[in-house]
């Protein structure tokens, strides 16, 4: 990703403006005590102008050097020489010479305000092309300070900071840029968010990194972004084992279960959590897609499939007893889980009713788990408004809120 950012930054560098040659330089120059060119200076500059117009930049620069060698130059002559040298060198691709001349011109403070600002802008671009990113950043920042409003230059500042290794400076600019885009009702550019993410990673800013990942998955819901974000939730310290099955439900719903070990783990977690119908779905998907039943673990996979079938048959046989037990239990969790199992089995109407009955009963050991699982049922049944309301109420620090946040981000992404 860092290489892509550097390539895009290079493409974003503005074509640099050519400053006027001799006639325009003289006309645009500010009034000075002695604002004329002596013949011995003017002759060389006139020849330089003619050569430059024919594309002979090297010869033009030699004539400008001859003019510069004339003794006793006045301020106007020196300014005109440097302006011409900067313009010709810039057009010839000699950015180091151009930058040196333009710095000399700016330092005089004699240019009209508009021309001064253009020259400062050119310096920012010249040093960028010279890969002197810290210097480029200095001139681009000065351009903004002196009233420059070109959005491309503002974008260049963040790139300068990034390529100079000033990740804090780059992150500051990129965060401000993203905030301004969102405040204007616009979506932040994907490559700018990628650059911000790289800065935050380098700075070990985990809070900022997660916030930027949220923006990426919301606005650009690519699988690579979702995978990164889900993995961060899964590996977060303190994530409760009992919520692994809920995280796997999210992963399965969004196509992140794509390897044999993931299928096997999800099926086993489903059995442990009391959802054999979900385990059956996952195993059937694994066999039909070719992830299971063909490799060296085929026998192990078939054994798990048989176990899933046995657990599912037992759950069906004990359905009435399990329902009575759940209704007798003071905690409504069993009813919610039974409802989820019925939904998994294809009996959506009764499943939703049982889960809502359990939620009304309350007395939960883990209230946030109950909210999360009822929300997951509503999501399965396309009852999005109910799901979102519940997901927003899920709190805690053991992982339920993180899983709920994934579903909320997915809902936001789908709405856009």
* Chain-centre distance for alpha carbon 42: 54
What pLDDT is recorded for position 15?
36
Can you give the three-state secondary structure of the chain, one letter per residue? CHHHHHHHHHHHCCCCCCCCCHHHHHHHCCCCCCCCCCHHHHHHHHHHHHHHHCCCHHHHHHHHHHHHCCCCCCHHHHHHHHHHHHHHHHHHCCHHHHHHHHHHHHHHCCCCHHHHHHHHHHHHHHHHHCCCHHHHHHHHHHHHHCCCCCHHHHHHHHHHHHHCCCHHHHHHHHHHHHHHHHHCCCCCCHHHHHHHHHHHHHCCCHHHHHHHHHHHHHHCCCHHHHHHHHHHHHCCCCCCHHHHHHHHHHHHHCCCCCCHHHHHHHHHHHHHCCCHHHHHHHHHHHHHHCCCCCCCCHHHHHHHHHHHHHHHHHHHHCHHHHHHHHHHCCCCHHHHHHHHHHHHCCCHHHHHHHHHHHHHHCCCCCHHHHHHHHHHHHHHCCCHHHHHHHHHCCCCCCCHHHHHHHHHHHHHHHHC
pLDDT recorded at residue 64:
95
The whole-number pLDDT of residue 411 equals 86
Q: How far is CA 78 from the centre of its chain?
A: 48
Query: Which CATH number does the domain 2-148 belong to among 1.10.150.530, 1.25.40.10, 1.10.8.60, 3.90.79.10?
Result: 1.25.40.10
pTM: 0.77
CA gap 373, 359 in Å, rounded: 10
Q: What value, to the nearest 5°, has the Cα angle with vertex 77 and ends 74 and 81?
A: 140
φ and ψ of 189, to 5 deg? -65, 140
CA atoms within 13 A of residue 305's CA, in its CB half-sphere: 17
Q: What pLDDT score does 114 carry?
A: 93
Rg of the chain in Å (alpha carbons): 34
Q: Is 404:372 a contact under the CB 8 Å cutoff?
A: yes
The span from the CA of 409 to the CA of 415, in Å, is: 10
Query: Tell me, what's the pLDDT at 295?
Result: 86
The total number of residues shown for the chain amounts to 416
C-alpha dihedral sign at 60, 64, 65, 70: positive
Distance CA 198, CA 187 (A): 19
| pLDDT for the residue numbered 11 | 39
Q: Tens of pLDDT along the chain (416 residues)?
A: 444 444 443 433 343 343 444 444 443 455 454 678 899 999 999 999 999 999 999 999 999 999 999 999 999 999 999 999 999 999 999 999 999 999 999 999 999 999 999 999 999 999 999 999 999 999 999 999 999 999 899 899 999 999 999 999 999 999 999 999 999 999 999 999 999 999 999 999 999 999 999 999 999 989 899 988 999 898 989 999 999 999 999 999 988 999 999 999 999 999 999 999 999 999 999 999 999 998 899 999 999 999 999 999 999 999 999 999 999 999 999 999 999 999 999 999 999 999 999 999 999 999 999 999 999 999 999 999 999 999 999 999 999 999 999 999 988 877 66
pLDDT on residue 415? 66
- Rounded to whole angstroms, the Cα distance separating 249 from 256 reads 10
Directed axis angle between helix 319-328 and helix 333-344, to 10°?
Answer: 150
Give the domain ranges of the chain: 2-148, 171-220, 257-317
Specify burial of residue 324 (Cβ count, 10 A radius: 0-12, 13-18, 19+): exposed
Other CB atoms within 10 A of residue 108 CB: 15
Please give the pLDDT value at position 36. Answer: 82
Q: Is 368 within 8 Å of 394 (Cβ atoms)?
A: yes
């Amino acid at each position: 990703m860092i290489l892509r950012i550097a390539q895009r930054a290079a493409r974003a560098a503005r074509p640099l403006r050519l400053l006027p040659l001799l006639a325009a330089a003289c006309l645009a120059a500010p009034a000075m005590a002695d604002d004329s060119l002596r013949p011995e200076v003017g002759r060389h500059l006139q020849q330089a102008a003619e050569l430059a117009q024919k594309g002979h930049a090297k010869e033009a620069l030699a004539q400008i050097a001859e003019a510069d060698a004339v003794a006793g130059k006045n301020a106007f002559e020196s300014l005109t020489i440097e302006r011409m040298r900067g313009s010709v060198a810039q057009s010839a691709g000699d950015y180091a010479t151009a930058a040196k001349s333009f710095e000399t011109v700016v330092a005089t403070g004699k240019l009209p305000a508009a021309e001064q600002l253009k020259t400062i802008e050119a310096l920012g671009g010249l040093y960028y092309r010279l890969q002197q990113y810290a210097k480029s950043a200095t001139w681009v920042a000065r351009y903004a300070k002196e009233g420059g409003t070109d959005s491309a230059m503002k974008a260049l500042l963040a790139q300068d900071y990034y390529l100079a290794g000033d990740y804090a400076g780059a992150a500051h600019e990129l965060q401000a840029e993203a905030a301004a885009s969102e405040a204007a009702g616009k979506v932040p550019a994907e490559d700018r968010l990628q650059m911000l993410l790289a800065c935050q990673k380098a700075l070990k800013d985990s809070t900022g990194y997660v916030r930027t990942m949220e923006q990426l998955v919301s606005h650009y819901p690519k699988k690579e972004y979702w995978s990164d974000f889900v993995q961060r939730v899964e590996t977060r310290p303190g994530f409760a084992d009992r919520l692994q099955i809920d995280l796997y439900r999210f992963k399965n719903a969004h196509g992140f279960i794509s390897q044999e070990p993931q299928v096997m783990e999800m099926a086993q977690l489903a059995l442990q959590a009391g959802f054999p119908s979900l385990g059956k779905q996952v195993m059937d998907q694994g066999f039909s897609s070719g992830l299971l039943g063909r490799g060296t673990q085929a026998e192990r996979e078939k054994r798990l499939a048989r176990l899933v079938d046995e657990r599912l048959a037992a759950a069906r046989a004990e359905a009435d007893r399990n329902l009575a037990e759940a209704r007798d239990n003071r905690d409504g969790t069993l009813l919610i889980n039974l409802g989820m199992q019925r939904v998994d089995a294809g009996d959506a109407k009764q499943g939703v009713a049982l889960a809502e009955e359990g939620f009304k009963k309350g007395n939960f050991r883990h209230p946030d788990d109950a909210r999360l699982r009822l929300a997951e049922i509503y999501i399965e049944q396309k009852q999005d408004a109910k799901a979102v309301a519940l997901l927003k109420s899920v709190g805690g620090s053991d992982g339920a809120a993180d899983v709920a946040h994934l579903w909320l981000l997915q809902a936001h992404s789908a709405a856009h």
